[in-house]
Structure 1
C-alpha cells in the first residue's frame, strides 16, 4: 500500500513539475515576443525581464523603461491563465526621487556600455545636452540621450534636476559655443585660470556680459567667462533657417584631420557616425547615433546607375551587401563632398574619392558602398528631427 502511494506521489509531482515547466516555457516565449515588439534594439530601450521558477508560482524580475511593454506582458500572461508575482521595476527608478532630468556637465561626457570608467566607450554627449536619467548605480547614471541611446555616465558628467529645475533651465537665456576647441575662464581674461575646456556644440546658460566676454553658468552652478566671438545665442541658433549643402560641407571641413575615436562624437575625436552626427547637430539637426540607425532615415537617393544624383551633404553608407544566406550590414557612413568625393572618419577625418583616376580613390569603399540618403529635404520628417522641434530640447520627455 505504501509503495503504491509513493508511486502515485511521484506521478503527481512529475505532473506538477511538467506543468510548471510548461508555464515557464509559455512565459519566456511571451517575454521574447513583447521584447521583439517594444524593444528590438537594446541601444535605445531597456527590457530586461526574467521568469524565475519558484516551484509554486513564477516570479518576474528585471526592469524596463517602457510602461506599455510591461503592461502588455502582464496582460498576455494573465490571458494565458498563468499566475505570477510581478517584480518588474519601471524606469526611471523610484530611488531618483523625481530627479529624472539631467544636463551634461562636462565639455564632453563619456557614455559607456556598462558602469565604470574602464568599460567600452559607446558614445559621447556634449555639455548642456538634456538627458533622461533612468537610474543610478555605483557612481554612474544610466541615461537616455536625445538620439535615444541608453548608456552609463559617471556622476561628474551629469547634473540631475527635478522637473521644476529643468523647466527653469529651459526658460533661461543660453549660448552655444561654436569654435572647435576652446576654454572658459575664471575672469573675463583669456590669461586667467581656466574653468573648463569647451568644444563646438556646448550649451551654457548666459547670466551676464563683461566686455568681449559672456558670463556663463554650468549645470552644476559653476560660473565662467567665454569669449563672445565664439558663441551664438541659443534661441537664434535653433531658429535659423535650415542649413544648405554649403553649410554642411563648411562644418565638415572644420574637422579635417581630427583623429578617429571609437564612440567619439566631438571635435576631440569621432567615429564615422559620430562625425556625421556632430556635423548635422551643429547645423541644428539631430541624427541617430550609429550608421546602422542613420541609414533608416532621410530620403533615398537613386545610385543604381552611379553617383550623378548625389548632392553635397548626402549621407553615404557602406558595409556588406546582403546575400542569399546573410543579411546586409551597415558598418560605415560618410558625407558626400561633391565631384565624386566624400568626407568621413576613417583613421582621421579625411576626404576620399569614388573616382579611380584620383590619388584619394578608395577601392575598398567603392566596393562596399551600399546606398545614400538625403537629410536636408527630410528635416522634421522621415525620421530626421530639428533641435528646435526635438522633445528633449523642448522638455517633453
Structure 2
C-alpha cells in the first residue's frame, strides 16, 4: 500500500513514528502537539515563504510538530484532517487552554473589551476554536471573555466546541457566497472548492478530508446512476480536481476558479463549460442518507 503524503508525515530523512514499518526514513519522531494561536496560517508545500499554499490552519486547531527549523518553519500534521505541511513557527503556541467553543459566524471579531465600540484585536473565521470563560453584557449584547481575558467575542457567534451548529450543510455553504476563491484557503476570507465542502459539512458535525480526490473516495455514498439519476439538494459533483454542491437538482454552488469566487450558477452552464474543456463528471456522491 502506498501512503498518501498529504495525510501521512514522511520524508526520506524524517517520518512520523506511527509510520514505522510502513515507510523508510533515516529518523522517526513522535512529534509534539501544539495549537495554532493566530487567526489563520498557510500550510505550505515547502519551508519557504514563496512555496505553494496547499491548505490553511485556523485559530485553536491542533497540529503535531515533527520538526522546527532555525529559519522559523515547522513541519506539521493538522489534527483536524491529517493534512501535512509547513507553517510558520510563530503561529504555534501551547496546547492549553483547551478550546471550549467554536466560531459559528462567517467571521467574527475579538474585541479588546466586552464592548463592540472597542477596537478589535483579531478577526476569526467560521470553525476557529476558542477557550472562553466569563460572560459579560454591554448595552444588551452578550459577550464571552477569552479564558486569559485578552479579549472578548460576541456570544451569539460561538457555540460549544462539540456541538454541530447547523443541520443543513448546504445552508452553511450558501453563507459563503461571493467569498473570494483562494487556492488552499479554508476561511471566509478565501477558500477553494474542497475547503467549502469541508467547512460546510464540519458545521453539521461531519468531518471530511481536505482535498477533492480524498473527499471523493471518503464522503457518503456514490450515486450509482450519476448525472442520469434523481439528483438531490446536497449531492456533491466531482470532476478531476473540482467539487461542487447542488443547491437543487439544477443549480450548483461551488468555489469556482473560473469566477474566482463562491458562486451559484445553473448546473447546465457548469457542465457545458467543463465539457468544452474535455472534462467529465467523475462521480456524484451523497454525503447524507
TM over 0.5: yes
Matches within 5 A, 1:144-293: 144-145=77-78, 146-161=80-95, 165=96, 169=98, 174-211=100-137, 212-217=142-147, 223-235=150-162, 237-238=163-164, 244=167, 247-293=168-214
- Partner SS state of residue 47, structure 1: coil
| C-alpha contact (below 8 Å) 1:45/1:66 kept by paired residues | no
- Give the CA deviation at 1:362: 4.2
**Which 4+ residue blocks in structure 1 deviate beyond 4 angstroms?**
none
Q: Deviations over 1:79-131 (max 9, x none)?
A: xxxxxxxx8211235xxxxxx11111122221111113222111011111122
Q: Do structure 1's residue 141 and structure 2's residue 71 form an aligned pair?
A: no
Question: CA 1:191–1:122 in 2, change beyond 3 Å: closer, same or farther?
Answer: same
| C-alpha contact (below 8 Å) 1:116/1:154 kept by paired residues | no
Q: Deviations over 1:158-200 (max 9, x none)?
A: 2144xxx5xx62xx6x122111122111111112122211111
2:23 and 2:65 map into 1 onto residues whose CA distance is: 24
Unaligned regions of 5+ residues in structure 2, if any?
none
- Partner SS state of residue 333, structure 1: strand
TM-score by length of 1: 0.64
Unaligned regions of 5+ residues in structure 1, if any?
1-36, 50-61, 75-86, 94-99, 319-329, 378-397
Question: CA 1:188–1:155 in 2, change beyond 3 Å: closer, same or farther?
Answer: same
Question: CA 1:307–1:136 in 2, change beyond 3 Å: closer, same or farther?
Answer: same
Question: CA 1:47–1:225 in 2, change beyond 3 Å: closer, same or farther?
Answer: closer
1:296 and 1:205 map into 2 onto residues whose CA distance is: 34
2:35 and 2:283 map into 1 onto residues whose CA distance is: 36
- Give the CA deviation at 1:361: 5.2
Q: Do structure 1's residue 306 and structure 2's residue 228 form an aligned pair?
A: yes
- Partner SS state of residue 14, structure 2: strand
Question: CA 1:63–1:128 in 2, change beyond 3 Å: closer, same or farther?
Answer: same
- Partner SS state of residue 285, structure 1: coil
| C-alpha contact (below 8 Å) 2:33/2:64 kept by paired residues | yes
Tell which structure's C-alpha radius of gyration is larger. Answer: 1
2:226 and 2:18 map into 1 onto residues whose CA distance is: 43
- Give the CA deviation at 1:304: 4.5
1:223 and 1:231 map into 2 onto residues whose CA distance is: 17
Could you say what the CA RMSD is over the residues aligned between the two structures, in angstroms? 2.3
Question: Which residue, 15, 30, 36 being the options, matches 1:64?
Answer: 15
Q: Which has the higher helix share?
A: 1
| C-alpha contact (below 8 Å) 2:227/2:284 kept by paired residues | no
- Give the CA deviation at 1:40: 2.8
Question: Which residue, 365, 373, 379 being the options, matches 2:285?
Answer: 373
| C-alpha contact (below 8 Å) 1:133/1:160 kept by paired residues | no
Q: Deviations over 1:239-274 (max 9, x none)?
A: x7xx64xx1121111011111101111111111111
Matched with 2:244 is 334
| C-alpha contact (below 8 Å) 2:232/2:249 kept by paired residues | no
TM-score by length of 2: 0.87
| Higher RCO (CA 8 Å, separation ≥ 6 residues) | 2
1:72 and 1:151 map into 2 onto residues whose CA distance is: 20
